[in-house]
Amino acid sequence: MDNRVYIFDTTLRDGEQVPGCGLTKDQKLKLAVALEDLGVDIIEAGFPISSPGDFNAVKAVAETIKESSVCALSRAVDKDIEVAAEAIKNAARPRIHTGIGTSDQHVFTKLRTTREVILERTHRCVSYARNFVDDVEFYAEDAGRTDNAFLAQVIQEAVSAGATVVNIPDTTGYCLPEEYGQKIKYLVDNVEGIENVIISTHCHNDLGLSTANSIAAIQNGARQVECTINGIGERAGNTSLEEVVMILKKHRWLDYETRIRTSELFPISRLISETMNMPVQPNKAIVGSNAFSHSSGIHQDGVIKNRDNYEIIDPAEVGVNKSSIILTARSGRAALNFRLSQLGFRPDKEGLEEAYQAFLEIADSVTVVEDKHLKQMMEDMPHLIKA
Ligand code: KIV
Ligand code: ZN
């Protein structure tokens, strides 16, 4: 099986559904260009039937983007599919993403229908979308909670009707990694012709498992990952693009590859955060402001000796200028000495001890000791400043 993993970015669709994250047409366009530069294979630009504004935004993205496929979401409804097709008709690589709920919860409680109707609508939506574009992705909403035997029947309908990609969303973020991986394997083993289509993962993070689930799916045959920058998305969010990409990159032995230019990960994280008014938690993997910061004395000493002691990623690999040593009351002499030398101060052993005691007093009164504090401290102790 091919080891290429396609990255399907849904920041502009699932990410944009988050309250307060709505984007104008111009903002979507700007972010789509940045996503294309990042190297994503597919950009899900929006849900065109949802509003005239989103229709126009998806249309503008479709008319601008040349390398990435541009995808439009629809429900399994003819009118939705027609509007999606119209929005992306000028795309260099258009894709329609259509689908329906398949779990008993969705079939009986949300859609209030029968499994037979779901199978008919699956066939209909895919074959109808194929009248407009060659690339049709089918999603089985709430596949995570769908009984595997019925899910296989649904996916069989989608494949027979001409789907090129089948998406198996864990819509509610319910699955465990092993369970989700087995679901993908079950489909690989039980759907005829599935080897001719791409299996996609689409995981939500309600239990904090979206990245682990996406990786488990890849290991069981999925070759497309749906994800967002910074993991933004409905409720607890979607799988984070930067996490999946860096896991595959760092674990080379897994032998999967993506086309993402990883040095753009940090810049695009900040661009998305600022444009969508969604702060990035400081301890967020890969792109959080603390992801390459070291504040405890033991860690700082280790990093100063050799960065690899406490970092598995070279910050430059993801577009971060350098790892930082944050000086707090938990820092040690090595870190203080390191920072003082960067500022041009080189106290001897006794001088460093005196400076360290003064530093601890400052550190106990401020959260983080900054360069301005250190400069003032050294000015207050002129006998430590060597000519
Ligand atoms: O979470 C989900 O199931 C979705 C689908 C519309 C793909 O976002
Ligand atoms: Zn989703």
Task: For ligand 1, atom 5, name the residue with the nearest CA.
Answer: 141
Beta bridge partners of 4: 257
pLDDT by residue (tens digit) across 151-198?
A: 999 999 999 999 999 999 999 999 999 999 999 999 999 999 999 999
* pTM of the model as a whole: 0.93
User: What pLDDT score was predicted for residue 81?
Assistant: 98
pLDDT by residue (tens digit) across 203-250?
A: 999 999 999 999 999 999 999 999 999 999 999 999 999 999 999 999
Location of structure tokens 């973020």: 173
Q: Say how far apart CA 117 and CA 122 lie, in whole Å.
A: 8
Mean residue pLDDT across the chain: 96
pLDDT-based confidence at residue 386 (cuts at 50, 70, 90): low
Cβ neighbours around 29 below 10 Å, total: 19
pLDDT by residue (tens digit) across 316-329?
A: 999 998 778 999 99
pLDDT by residue (tens digit) across 68-87?
A: 999 999 999 999 999 999 99
Instruction: Classify residue 11 by its DSSP letter.
Output: I
Q: Which of 345, 343, 348 is nearest to 372 (CA)?
A: 343
Q: Which atom of ligand 1 is nearest to the CA of 73?
A: 6
pLDDT by residue (tens digit) across 255-275?
A: 999 999 999 999 999 999 999
CATH 3.40.640.10 fits 6-275, yes or no: no
Q: What is the pLDDT averaged over residues 76-105?
A: 98
Q: Where are the domains of the chain?
A: 6-275, 293-384
Residue partners of 48: CB distance under 8 A and separation at least 6: 54, 55, 58, 59, 72, 73, 74, 83, 84, 86, 87, 88
Q: Say how far apart CA 7 and CA 27 lie, in whole Å.
A: 21
- Ligand nearest the Cα of residue 232 is 2
CB burial of residue 26 (10 Å; 0-12, 13-18, 19+)? exposed
Provide the percentage of residues in the chain whose pLDDT is more than 90: 95
Alpha-carbon separation of residue 227 from 125, 237, 241, 332 (angstroms)? 24, 9, 5, 40
User: What pLDDT score was predicted for residue 321?
Assistant: 84
Q: What is the pLDDT averaged over residues 89-96?
A: 98
- Ligand nearest the Cα of residue 234 is 2
User: What pLDDT score was predicted for residue 1?
Assistant: 66
Note residues around ion ligand 2 (Cβ under 5 angstroms).
14
What spacing in Å lies between the alpha carbon of 164 and ligand 1's midpoint? 17
